Amino acid sequence: MKPVIAIVGATGAVGSEFLLVLKKMGFEFEQLHLIASKRSAGKVLKTVFGDYEVVDIEQFDFSQVKYAFFSAGGNVSREWAPKAAAQGAIVIDNTSAFRMQDTVPLIIPEINRSAYTGQKLISNPNCSTIQLVRALAPIHERFGVRKVIASTYQAVSGAGNEGVNGLHASLVDSEGAGDSSPFSRPIAHNVIPQIDRFMDNGFTFEEEKVRFETRKILNEPDMFVTCTAVRVPVFRGHSVAAYIETDKALDMGAVKAALVGQGIKVAQNPEDFPTPRTIANKEDVYVGRIRREPDARNGLWLWVVADNLWVGAAWNAVRIARELER
- Please tell me whether 166 is known to bind a ligand: no
> Is 13 annotated to bind ligand?
yes
Is 297 known as a binding-site position? no
> Is there a catalytic annotation at residue 227?
no
Annotated binding residue 288: no
Q: Is 157 annotated as a binding residue?
A: yes
Q: Which long-range contacts (CB under 8 A, 24 or more apart) does 90-93 make?
A: 90/66, 90/120, 90/122, 90/321, 90/324, 91/120, 91/121, 91/122, 92/67, 92/68, 92/122, 92/124, 92/317, 92/320, 92/321, 93/121, 93/122, 93/123, 93/124
Q: Is 174 annotated as a binding residue?
A: no
Cα torsion 186, 187, 190, 194 to 10°: value is 90
Among candidate residues 127, 140, 168, 189, the one labeled active-site is: 127
181 is an annotated ligand-binding site residue:
no
Does 40 show up as a binding residue in the annotation? yes
Nearest to 290 by CA among 304, 306, 301, 275: 301
154 labelled ligand-binding:
yes
User: Tell me, what amino acid is at 194?
Assistant: Q
Q: Is 103 labeled as ligand-binding?
A: no
CB 156 within 8 A of CB 166: yes
- Marked catalytic residue, from 33, 140, 227, 238: 238
146 assigned binding-site residue: no
Which residues are catalytically annotated? 127, 238
What residues form the annotated binding site for substrate? 154, 231
**Binding site residue list:** 11-14, 39-40, 99, 154, 157-158, 231, 308
Residues making up the binding site for NADP(+): 11-14, 39-40, 157-158, 308
